A and B are shown apart, each in its own frame.
Chain A
Amino acid sequence: KNQVEQSPQSLIILEGKNCTLQCNYTVSPFSNLRWYKQDTGRGPVSLTIMTFSENTKSNGRYTATLDADTKQSSLHITASQLSDSASYICVVSAGNFNKFYFGSGTKLNVKP
C-alpha cells in the first residue's frame, strides 16, 4: 500500500534552535519527493522537490535530504524563526505524475 508517514506529529522549539522533521514512505514507483510549508489558514507552498538521484536540496534555512534506499527523507530547519511556525507536509509522487501521496504533516510551533 502506498503510504507516507511523518513524524513527529507536532513539535515545539525555541526560536533560534534547529530541528529535523522525518518522512518515511512506501510509494512505488517513486518519481519525486516534495516538502511543502502550510501556514495556518493558507494553502501549502512548495519548499523543495527531489528526484531519485538527488540526496540533498536546500532552500534558504531549509535543507531536505533523501535516502531512496531506505525510503526516508528529512527536512532540517536551521536557526528557526517565529515565521517557521506552520505545518510541514511531505508528498511523494508516484510513476503516474498525477498520483501524489500526502503525509498528514508535522505541526511546528516556534516559541520566542
Chain B
Amino acid sequence: NAGVTQTPKFQVLKTGQSMTLQCAQDMNHEYMSWYRQDPGMGLRLIHYSVGAGITDQGEVPNGYNVSRSTTEDFPLRLLSAAPSQTSVYFCASRQGGSNQPQHFGDGTRLSIL
C-alpha cells in the first residue's frame, strides 16, 4: 500500500492563480480531510469528506473548494491564490469509527508570491 499520496510536493504560485492539490489513498478509507499547518500553530481543518459525494467545511474553508467523486481521491482547489494561503497542506484519511488513526500524506509546501 502506498497509503496517502499528495502531489505536488512543492509549488510556487503568483497571487490570483488557481491550482489543484491532489490527494489519493489506496486503503479504501471512508473519511478524508485537508489540513493546513502554519508555524507555531496546530493543524487546522479546511474541508473534510465522510464518503464519495459528501463533503463539508472545516475551520478555515474560505478560498478553497473540494469534491469527492471517488473513494480514493480528494482534491483541494485554490480558487484565487492569496499570500495568506502560503502554508503546508496535509491530506489525511481514516476508517470510520471514532478511535481509528488518521493516516497523513507527506504534505504539499505551497508558496504564494
Q: Which residues of A contact B (CB under 8 A)?
A: 4, 31-32, 34, 41-46, 49, 51, 89, 93, 97-98, 100-105
B42 touches A32 (CB 8 A): no
Chain B contacts for A43, CB-based, 8 A: 4, 90, 92, 104-107
Count of A-B residue pairs with CB < 8 Å: 50
User: How far apart sit A34 and B92, CA to CA, in the bound complex (Å)?
Assistant: 15
Interface range on chain B (Cβ under 8 Å from partner): 20 to 34
A interface, over-half SS: strand
User: How far apart sit A55 and B9, CA to CA, in the bound complex (Å)?
Assistant: 38
B101 touches A46 (CB 8 A): yes
Say if the beta carbon of B78 comes within 8 Å of chain A: no
Chain A contacts for B99, CB-based, 8 A: 32, 49, 51
Which of B98, B101, B106 is in CB contact (< 8 Å) with A31?
B98
Say if the beta carbon of B62 comes within 8 Å of chain A: no
A34 to chain B: closest residue by CB: B101
Which of B41, B45, B106 is in CB contact (< 8 Å) with A100?
B45
Say if the beta carbon of B48 comes within 8 Å of chain A: yes
Say if the beta carbon of B43 comes within 8 Å of chain A: yes
B101 touches A49 (CB 8 A): yes
B42 touches A45 (CB 8 A): no
Chain A contacts for B4, CB-based, 8 A: 43
Which of A45, A49, A98 is in CB contact (< 8 Å) with B31?
A98
